[in-house]
Structure 1
Amino acid sequence: MQGQVRGRNARRWIIFGTIAFGALFLVIGLILAGVSVSFLTDAERAKGTVVSLEWREDHDTTSRDKHTDDRPVAYPVVEFTPENGTPTRFQDSTGSNPPAYEEGERVEVLYRADSPEDARINGFASLWLLPLIFGGLGLLVSGIGTVVAVVTRRRARSRGVREAVAFVKPRRS
């Protein structure tokens, strides 16, 4: 009996931890989405040109897994001229392989008027990829944890009802 109680408590903590982990990721995703929305509402727009691609190897050097993708990733370097007239260059925070942009490609740039070096390419990956990953993963994990918690609770209740009915039923001799 004591082993069952310990197992039940361990399951409860695991379910609680799963829901909490998912909720944390969901909150991070919502915060990142809020940052993107805030950036969009304050951002000025300008036309820019991809002047180069910065190739970096972003793989984890501590990983011993031979199946990891060790291909370099291209980060676009964009030059644009904000309203103040000073040409500005920035490297976008999102890279890919194959490259999402080509050298010489024209792109729309979003930047803060008071800080033109804080700029991003107006694209899905630059603005919404991280919020989507964190929010989606958080929603998925906390949703699974919640479903497991509900199913576990219903099973425990129905087991309790069956045990109570069996205890109350008179035994035939």
Structure 2
Amino acid sequence: MKVQARGQGARRWIMVGTIAFGALFLVVGLILAGVSVSFLVDAERARGTVVALEWRNDDHNGASRKTRGNNRPAAYPVVEFTSAEGTPRKFRDSTGSHPPSYEVGEEVEVLYRADSPEDARIKGFASLWLLPLIFGGIGLLIGGIGTVVALATRGRSQAARSPQVMSPSAAPQG
């Protein structure tokens, strides 16, 4: 019996940990979505032009190219725009892709904060919503799986612990 109790305790901690991990990811996704919404509300808009593509291998962890599954470089668009006060600005977007999402010479809509024009982004789905969706989606998936497993296990363990009620016809006659 004690082995079974220990096993149930470990399973319970795993389920709680899974739900907590999922909740943490969901909260991070919601915070990132809030940052994007806040940026959109306060952002100035300007027309910009992609002036270059900066090709980068984002190998920050030091892994060799042979061990990585995707060793192709990503193209990060470099955009020039003129802010509302008339100052020309240039920035590299934070989202790169392979194949490139933009071409040199392509016109794009730029969003930037008037008080800090160096904080600029291309108005596009990936640069605004990709990270919130990834974190929120992973959080919902993992937290949902943990919750479903916890509820299913709880229902099964309650059914196993509840005493069996005998019907009057099945009761022994004495």
Structure 1 match to 2:46: 46
- Alignment map for 1:1-173 (pairs within 5 Å): 1-59=1-59, 60-62=61-63, 66=67, 68-161=69-162, 164-165=163-164
Per the TM alignment, residue 44 of structure 1 is displaced from its structure 2 partner at its CA by 0.4
User: Separation in 2 of the partners of 1:61 and 1:99?
Assistant: 24
User: Separation in 2 of the partners of 1:15 and 1:26?
Assistant: 16
CA deviations on 1:48-96 (whole Å, 9 max, x unpaired) are 0000011000144336874610000000000000111110000100000
User: Separation in 1 of the partners of 2:66 and 2:22?
Assistant: 27
Residue identity in the other structure for 2:25: F
18 and 125 in structure 1: CA distance in 2 versus 1, 3 angstrom threshold: same
170 and 67 in structure 1: CA distance in 2 versus 1, 3 angstrom threshold: farther
Aligned residues: 171
Q: Secondary structure at the match of 1:165?
A: coil
User: Separation in 2 of the partners of 1:64 and 1:127?
Assistant: 29
User: Separation in 2 of the partners of 1:16 and 1:133?
Assistant: 22
Residue identity in the other structure for 1:132: L
User: Separation in 1 of the partners of 2:156 and 2:71?
Assistant: 47
Residue identity in the other structure for 1:49: T
User: Separation in 2 of the partners of 1:133 and 1:98?
Assistant: 20
Counterpart contact for 2:65–2:71, Cα < 8 Å: no
Q: Structure 2 regions of 5+ residues with no counterpart?
A: none
Taking only aligned residues, the RMSD between alpha carbons, in angstroms, comes to 2.2
Structure 1 stretches of 4+ with a deviation exceeding 3 A read 63-67, 169-172
User: Separation in 1 of the partners of 2:68 and 2:78?
Assistant: 30
User: Separation in 2 of the partners of 1:7 and 1:138?
Assistant: 26
Q: TM-score, normalised by structure 2?
A: 0.92
Q: TM-score, normalised by structure 1?
A: 0.92
Question: How much identity, in percent, do the aligned residues show?
Answer: 68
CA deviations on 1:79-123 (whole Å, 9 max, x unpaired) are 000111110000100000000000000000000011111000000
52 and 64 in structure 1: CA distance in 2 versus 1, 3 angstrom threshold: closer
